[in-house]
Every structure is written in C-alpha cells, then in structure tokens.
Amino acid sequence: MTAPRQTFAARTCRDTLPVVDRRSFLQNTAAGFGWLAATALAHEWTSRRAVSAAETTKPAGGYVSPTAPKPPQFPAAAKRVIFLFMEGGPSHLDTFDWKPELAKLGAGGKSRPLAPVVDFRPCGKSGLMLGAGFPELAKQADELCLLNGMKTKTPSHHQAIVSMHTGSENFVRPSLGSWLVYGLGTESQDLPGFITIDPISHNGGAQNYGSAFLPATFQGTRLSSGSRSVPNIANTHLAPGDQRKQLDFVQRMNRRMLAAQPGQPELEGVIESSELAFQMQTSVPATFDIGDEPRHVRDLYGVDDGTTERFGQACLMARRLCEKGVRFIQLTSAGWDHHNNLREGLQGRWDAIDRPIAGLIADLKQRDMLKDTLIVWGGEFGRSVADDKGDGNGRGHQAKGFSMWMAGGGVKAGYRYGATDELGGAAVEGVMDMHDLHATILHLLGLDHEALTYRYAGRDFRLTETGGKVAREILA
C-alpha cells in the first residue's frame, strides 16, 4: 500500500523545523514568564499612578479629595439613591405581583399552589394593583414603577444578597454604592458619600457595602438609626481647635509622603478617613438628631409610634442625608424569610415599613427632591408559588421571578414593567437580572455601566462585568 503523498508545505515544515520535546521547550521559554509578569505589573503600576494623580492633584499641585464631586458621563436624571433593602426575600405574590389565577387555587398543601394571603386592589389614578398590606404606600401608587420581571441566579440567601449588592455571587467585588461614589464622588464633604443604616451582619456582611479593590475611600460607612448612630463620636481629650492643629500636622506629613510615592490607595484612605472623622464630629449629631423636626413630619414617618419608630427614624435620616448631598443611602428591613408563619410575619413587616416609606416619598415630593432622588425597593429574591411546609401558611425561595420597584429619579411613575407567568413562578416579560438592574441605576445617575471601569490585577473591572442592559422602557 502506497503511503499518502505529502504536500510541499508539509514536507518543508517537517524537514526545516527542529524537533523540540516538552522539557526543552520549558527550559528555553520559562524566562519569558517573568517578563510577562513584569510587564503586567508595570502596566498596573503605571495605570494606578495615572488614576491616582488624576484624582488627587490639581493642576497647581493642591490636594483634591478622591470623593470630590465629579460630573456624570452624560446628563443624569437622578443625583442620589436611597436603596430600601428587604432582607430575606419578600413574597412578590403577596405584595406587588397580582396573580388572579393563583387566587383561585385554594389554600395550598405540601408543594401545592398557595393563594395570596391578602387581596389586591387597584390604587391611584394609574390603577396599579398592590397588596392590601400597604394601605399608606397605596396612596403613593402613582409614583411607583413596578418591576415584575426580576430574576436572579440562585435561591440561596448568601449568594443572592451578595449578587444584589456587588453584581457577583462568587467573588469579592465592590458594592453598588462604592461604584457610584467612585464614579460621581459626593456633594457632602463632611459626611461619607455612601452610608448604610442598620445593615445585616450575616449573608455577606461588610462585603455588601465594601469597596473590595476600589480605594478604601469609596466603601460604605455603617451607621445605626437614631441620634447615637456613631458611638464615641465626640473627642473628650482635645478642644476642637487643638484637635484641628494636631490633625493638620499629621495630614501634612501624609500628603508629603503621598506626593513622594503617588498611587498609594491605602495612604489616600488614611488621609480621607482622618479628615472625614474630624468633620463628622460636628455633622453627624446635627444631621442625625431628628429632635428639631416638626410634629407633622414626625407623624408622617411614624417616628413616635412603637411599630414604625425604628424604620421611620431611618427613613427620616435618609431624607436628611439626601439634603446633605450624600450619594448613596441604604436602609435595611430584616425578617422577610417566611417559610411558615407567612400571614403573621408579613403583617409585622408591612406594619413596620408601610407608613415610613410612604412618608419618605411624600416628604421628598413636597420638598421637590423626589424628581432627582431614585428610590429602589426590593429583596434578594421572591417566594415560591407552592406551599412550602404544607400548612397553608408559608412559601419557599424563588429566584426565577419576583418583584422590585423604583420611584422618582427619572423612572416612569404609575407604571408596571415586566411580568411573571400566570401563577408567578418565573419572569417571562421585561426580564431583568441583577446586572440589568445595576446598569439601569447607573444610567439614571448619568453613568455608562460599560465605561465605568477600574483597572485591577491587569484588567478592567466593572460592576456589570460582561452583562447588563439598561431597561430603557422604564425611563421617564
């Protein structure tokens, strides 16, 4: 049998190229790995030095805070965000996603469909269907933009919560608030640009408001509701004048070192946090002491009612922080994980947040601030169509379809976007995942989610990674 005839090209390659075994190849090329690593490090160092220099020095050489206000990339509808996070996964089927077909199916049973535990009613001129658990919020229905086609990747609390806050369920990434302050800075120079009030300490904890590889100046500051929101805020050892002199002396040395060794985010963080801590000794008591609020405002938020006091104070503090120019404010309401005790559990949550949230919307509107304040409400996922425990009073986790809502800040008012299927089990129209949500929020604040990047470990990172689509249908 005659061997196949070789082409001229094949014979030439075989006859002219030396035969190299694996060991020889590694011995001759290993030195190049070091050069590749050195090139990447040099590029990283040069990029960070350029970014740092652009953010921290004026043309004349004076220091500029990395959190100083920056212009948006294009005209923005919103200036700030209030994120109302409902930890535990609130049931969309009993709050904002009306499913009349589900209501016909009875009282559940193990793994059987469970009807909504409350009636739904058309609200406002828009006729949006809301669950009866929100009588006060129903009065603000014409300000709401319901997002009924939300979905996320996993029905696990930890991963879904971290994904909602950072865009990644598996890796440590900067949080949404940190990206916003990085991109836009903050108009408040005596308060942090990103404040989270009463955040959860589990399911991601500080990762949910951390800055990860972004400079530390952009991380969230954890506070508690009430006038004593920051413990030990007062300096009992030095008078303000003496403390100012001491701080100026230390800061001169810090800035001298930063000028000699630019591109040091840790040192920038020390400079920023020291100055901010000094300013907060005055600004925090003045901002968080709500004792000067008139009676009708306190009643609006329910701050003197035992049921609504805690969340009402947090909502009122959020309005005051907006007035001070804080960029991103997060409030947390925990306890929405209702595998059982659904009726009673939801009633407790509704009673605690309904009046304060409605009061916040009304107050911002009365002050002509709602138009440029974006309010976002929602949890990490929704609840199952089926009865979880078989007692007709609980729902399991559901990631494939749930509801959130927005108000103010450039979104359509009195509008419903997206839908789940007939029984509410999965998003089928106007579907939005976490990257879509983040892309839309950034867009409303004048930031292109694909262009807002930070170089780290040799590549450009962004909040939405390789995904994200702006929900233009909800833009006013």
Residue 227: predicted pLDDT: 53
d(CA 374, CA 143): 11
- State the Cα angle at 188 between 273 and 293, rounded to 5°: 115
Q: Please tell me what DSSP assigns to residue 418.
A: -
d(CA 209, CA 362): 27
d(CA 154, CA 241): 54
Is the alpha carbon torsion for 321, 323, 327, 333 positive or negative? positive
How far is residue 453 from each of residues 1, 225, 249, measured CA to CA in Å? Answer: 63, 33, 35
Say whether pTM exceeds 0.75.
yes
In contact, 196 and 222? CB cutoff 8 Å: yes
DSSP H or E run through 146: strand 144-150
DSSP H or E run through 355: helix 342-366
Residue 84: predicted pLDDT: 98
Residue 106: predicted pLDDT: 73
Tokens encoding 229: 């929101």
How far is residue 380 from each of residues 232, 351, 404, measured CA to CA in Å? Answer: 33, 21, 10
Name residue 307's amino acid: T
In contact, 202 and 295? CB cutoff 8 Å: no
In contact, 433 and 471? CB cutoff 8 Å: no
pLDDT band per the 50, 70, 90 thresholds, residue 11: very low
In contact, 136 and 355? CB cutoff 8 Å: yes
d(CA 310, CA 317): 11
Least confident of 216-230, 299-313, 347-361: 216-230
pLDDT tens digits for 411-424?
999 999 999 999 99
In contact, 156 and 140? CB cutoff 8 Å: no
Q: Is the pLDDT of residue 284 over 50?
A: yes
- State the Cα angle at 445 between 440 and 447, rounded to 5°: 75
Contact residues for 189 (Cβ-Cβ < 8 A; gap 6+) = 65, 67, 68, 279
Cβ density class 130-161: b for 16+ within 10 Å, e for less:
bbbbbebbbebbebbbbbbbbbbeebbbebbb
Q: Is the pLDDT of residue 172 over 50?
A: yes
Residue 63: predicted pLDDT: 62
pLDDT tens digits for 211-263?
999 998 899 999 987 655 666 666 667 677 766 767 677 778 878 887 877 76
pLDDT band per the 50, 70, 90 thresholds, residue 54: very low
In contact, 123 and 141? CB cutoff 8 Å: yes
